[in-house]
Amino acid sequence: MTSPQTSVRDRLVRSAITLLRSRGADGFGMSELLHDSGVARRSMYQHFPRGKAQLLETAATEAGARIGAELDAVLAELPPVDALAAWVEQWKRALTGSDFRLGCPLVAAGQSAQDYPGAAAAAARAFTSFRDRIAAAFVRDGMPADEAARTASVLVSGIEGAIITSRSLKSVAPLDDLVAHARHFLSSSP
């Protein structure tokens, strides 16, 4: 449950992100969301008059911004492959700290396109921004732009897939394998 000192809107968004991470967009109802956030139903509709669809779109947008800020922090301090490894370490801690119950909220939002197209679109924008940030780091490191874009796209897709696989296996080995492969492949590239 979220802290009562946090604003009603923020409590709703945080609860939605947590429930997306653990249950997916269709895995929870309004009653569970309201219970988890400690918010009254009328307050929910004051902040999100279009209901769950609007809340999930906002949650996906804010989750993308938070994850993007974490990515920016490691990319600002480290070479791209080391930043990738540091970003993966953050995901590993999140997975193991939740006993593999909490995955990426953007994957859940992205898979909800039929029922929640706004949330899926927000997830797509976030994934695109992650790709662009990583590609820019590779370009700064001397990689040609087209190769950097392809590499970043593969890495974002690989990380998201490894998060899903790690949750299924209850093991961070897929994330470790991804980093090891990226290090090997990118260090042997001309």
CATH number at residue 120: 1.10.357.10
Quickly list DSSP for 6-56.
S-HHHHHHHHHHHHHHHH-TTS--HHHHHHHHT--HHHHHHH-TTTHHHHH
Which has the higher per-residue pLDDT, 109 or 5? 109
Q: In this structure, is residue 158 part of a structural domain?
A: yes
- Residue 89, Cβ density class (10 Å: 0-12 exposed, 13-18 middle, ≥19 buried): middle
Q: What is the mean pLDDT of residues 124-131?
A: 98
In this predicted structure, the answer to whether residue 188 has a pLDDT above a threshold of 90 is: no
Distance CA 82, CA 124 (A): 25
59 pLDDT band, cuts 50/70/90, is very high
Distance CA 190, CA 163 (A): 29
Q: In this structure, is residue 143 part of a structural domain?
A: yes
Per the CB < 8 A criterion, the answer to whether 91 and 150 are in contact is: no
In this predicted structure, the answer to whether residue 4 has a pLDDT above a threshold of 90 is: no
In this predicted structure, the answer to whether residue 118 has a pLDDT above a threshold of 60 is: yes
Q: What is the mean pLDDT of residues 11-38?
A: 93
In this predicted structure, the answer to whether residue 100 has a pLDDT above a threshold of 50 is: yes
Residues spanned by the domain of 156? 53-188
Q: In this structure, is residue 137 part of a structural domain?
A: yes
Q: In this structure, is residue 76 part of a structural domain?
A: yes
**pTM of full prediction above 0.75:** yes
In this predicted structure, the answer to whether residue 89 has a pLDDT above a threshold of 80 is: yes
Q: In this structure, is residue 30 part of a structural domain?
A: no
What pLDDT, on a 0 to 100 scale, did the predictor assign at position 2? Answer: 47
Q: What is the mean pLDDT of residues 166-189?
A: 92
Domain count, the chain: 1
Residues 6+ apart with CB under 8 A from 79: 137, 141
Q: In this structure, is residue 40 part of a structural domain?
A: no
Q: What is the mean pLDDT of the chain?
A: 94
Q: What is the mean pLDDT of residues 149-174?
A: 97
Residues 6+ apart with CB under 8 A from 171: none
Q: In this structure, is residue 182 part of a structural domain?
A: yes
Q: In this structure, is residue 16 part of a structural domain?
A: no
